[in-house]
Amino acid sequence: MTSSLSDVANAATPRVPGSRALGTGLEARGIHAWFGKHHALADVSLDFAPGTVTALIGPSGCGKSTFIRTLNRMHEFIPSAAMAGEVLLDGKDVYAPGVDVTKIRLQIGMVFQKPNPFPSMTIGENVLSGLKLAQLKTENKDDLLEECLERAGLWKEVKDRLGAHGGSLSGGQQQRLCIARALAVKPQVLLMDEPCSALDPGSTLRIEETIRQLSETMTIVIVTHNMQQAARVSDYTAFFLSDGGPGHMIEVAPTTEIFSRPKDKRTEDYVTGRFG
């Protein structure tokens, strides 16, 4: 990963947050996560300003995927899971008693590692599936469909075959379909858990373009193994590490800084490819 430093020159400078974005961002305070007795993540506090892209990097098993799943409460699907800390969306704790978890997940969308369109639905139905699942009303389905596919960069490729099944698309197209699906419910925040790890380089580039465009209107958190990708798409980068014990965050800084003058020696070792 020696080339990562050369990417720094091309990395975007951090934008002034909040100009056109929806909502007021997301804030994680003192997040811990457990699987049964196993303490997987310790004391992560991280601020996601509206309209920014934050990349979470770090070696496998450092808890970055676990962390991202605590943000939209997907963590709790593991039977033995437990957590501590607060996740504030618009200043309100998403884990507070009496919060409707389905509403939280509508506001914090998620794109998974492997594209997972619903196999029984057509392309069009897939995009609008979130509306159907949560029984949301919309005035004009066709406009929304076009808008979401347009923003996900897929409209031109599929506009003539919206009735085809999602499975008929290529892997990269399927992943953009999943992004379009997440956009249709108009989330403020989009979580992406290694969205390109199952894709070829060409598709990866298309998705990165999409991420840059989406960041104009929403807050994005992306977990990635690929440091060039972090450098290319993100405004901020957080480095996670597990040294035997629970994973924790070593440092967070504007992406240019992380890749040019990291404060921590371990971060430097990782971004320069000395380990990981």
Smaller CB distance to other proteins: residue 55 or 182?
Answer: 182
253 CB-near residues (< 8 Å, 6+ apart): 236, 237, 262, 263
Residue 130 has which token pair?
Answer: 């979130």
Can residue 102 be called a binding residue for other proteins (CB under 8 A)?
yes
Binds other proteins (CB under 8 A): choice among 79, 163, 244, 245? 79
SS (H, E, C) 50-84: CCCEEEEECCCCCCHHHHHHHHCCCHHHCCCEEEE
Can residue 163 be called a binding residue for other proteins (CB under 8 A)?
no
- The span of 105-113, 153-161, 215-223, 259-267 binding other proteins (CB under 8 A) equals 105-113
Residue 197 has which token pair?
Answer: 């790890």
Can residue 130 be called a binding residue for other proteins (CB under 8 A)?
yes
Can residue 120 be called a binding residue for other proteins (CB under 8 A)?
yes
Contact 89, 26 (CB under 8 A): yes
Site for other proteins in 36-55 (CB under 8 A): 42-43
Closest CA to 95 of 150, 103, 87: 87
Binds other proteins (CB under 8 A): choice among 9, 20, 61, 96? 96
Smaller CB distance to other proteins: residue 78 or 205?
Answer: 78
- To other proteins, the closest distance from the beta carbon of 105 in angstroms equals 4
Q: State the Cα–Cα distance between residues 54 and 222, nearest whole angstrom.
A: 6
Can residue 64 be called a binding residue for other proteins (CB under 8 A)?
no
Binds other proteins (CB under 8 A): choice among 11, 21, 25, 32? 32
Can residue 67 be called a binding residue for other proteins (CB under 8 A)?
no
Closest CA to 276 of 3, 5, 60: 60
24 by DSSP, 3-state: which?
coil
Residue 226 has which token pair?
Answer: 């690929």
Q: Per-residue contact track with other proteins, 172 to 191, x per CB under 8 A?
A: ------x--xx--x------
Q: State the Cα–Cα distance between residues 99 and 140, nearest whole angstrom.
A: 29
254 by DSSP, 3-state: which?
strand
Q: State the Cα–Cα distance between residues 250 and 239, nearest whole angstrom.
A: 6
- To other proteins, the closest distance from the beta carbon of 255 in angstroms equals 26
Smaller CB distance to other proteins: residue 33 or 49?
Answer: 33
Q: State the Cα–Cα distance between residues 35 and 164, nearest whole angstrom.
A: 40
Can residue 244 be called a binding residue for other proteins (CB under 8 A)?
no
- The span of 58-66, 93-101, 217-225, 261-269 binding other proteins (CB under 8 A) equals 93-101
Contact 188, 23 (CB under 8 A): yes
Binds other proteins (CB under 8 A): choice among 52, 54, 65, 72? 72
Can residue 105 be called a binding residue for other proteins (CB under 8 A)?
yes
Q: State the Cα–Cα distance between residues 203 and 172, nearest whole angstrom.
A: 5
Contact positions vs other proteins (CB under 8 A): 30, 32, 34, 42-43, 72-74, 76-77, 79, 81-85, 95-98, 100-106, 109-110, 112, 114, 116, 118-120, 129-130, 132-135, 178, 181-182, 185
